[in-house]
Structure 1
C-alpha cells in the first residue's frame, strides 16, 4: 500500500474516475429520457417518419410514370379507332346508292 501524498493522489484519481463514470451513466439516462419524450411528442403531432415519406414519394413517382404510359396507350387506341371509323364510314357511304322512287 502506498502512503503519504501518493495515496491521497491515488484516492483522488479513483474518485474522479468514479465521478466520470457516474456522469456518463447520467448522460445516457437523460438522452434516453429525452428521446422517449421527443418521440411521444412527434407521434402525437402525426408527423410522418422519413422512411414512410420516402416510400410514399417513390410510390407516387411510380404511379405518375404508369399514368403517363397508360395515357399514351389510350391516345394511341383512340387514334386507331378514329382512323378505322373514318375508313369504315367512307367505305359504307360509297357502297350505298341513293334510292330512286
Structure 2
C-alpha cells in the first residue's frame, strides 16, 4: 500500500511543479503584455523618458549656475563704474 501512496504523492508533486511552472510562464506573459500596453499608452501621451528629463534638468542647472556667475560679474562691474575712485570726465 505504501508504494501506491508514494506513487500518488510523486504524481501529485509533479503536477504541482508543472502547474507552478505554467503559472510562472503566464505571469511573465501578462507582465510583458502589460508593459507593452503601458509603453504604448505613455507614448500616446507624449511624455519624456526619465533619462531625457535628467539630461534637460542638468542643462537647466548648468544654465542657472552660469546666469548666477554672470549676474555676479555684472554687479561687480557696475560697482566699479559707480565707485567714486574712477576718474570722471569733465
Q: Please give the TM-score of this superposition, normalised by the length of structure 1.
A: 0.71
Superposed CA RMSD: 2.2
Matched, 1:70 2:70: yes
Local SS of the residue matching 2:40: helix
Name stretches of at least 5 consecutive residues in structure 1 with no aligned partner. 94-101
SS of 1:80's partner is: helix
1:8 CA drift (Å): 1.6
What is the rounded CA distance, in whole Å, between the counterparts of 2:5 and 2:68 in structure 1?
84
Computing the radius of gyration from Cα coordinates, the structure with the larger value is 1
Which whole-Å CA distance do the structure 1 matches of 2:35 and 2:27 have between them? 12
Encode CA deviations 1:71-93: one digit per residue, 9 max, x unaligned. 22223334434559x6241xxx3
Runs of 4+ aligned residues of structure 1 deviating over 3 Å after TM superposition are 78-84
1:6 and 2:6 aligned: yes
Structure 1: how far apart are the matches of 2:13 and 2:78? 87
Gaps of 5+ in 2: none
TM-score, with length taken from structure 2:
0.79
Of structures 1 and 2, the one scoring higher in RCO (CA 8 A, sep 6+) is 2
Deviations 1:37-67 (A, max 9, x none): 1011111111122222222222212111101
Aligned residues: 88
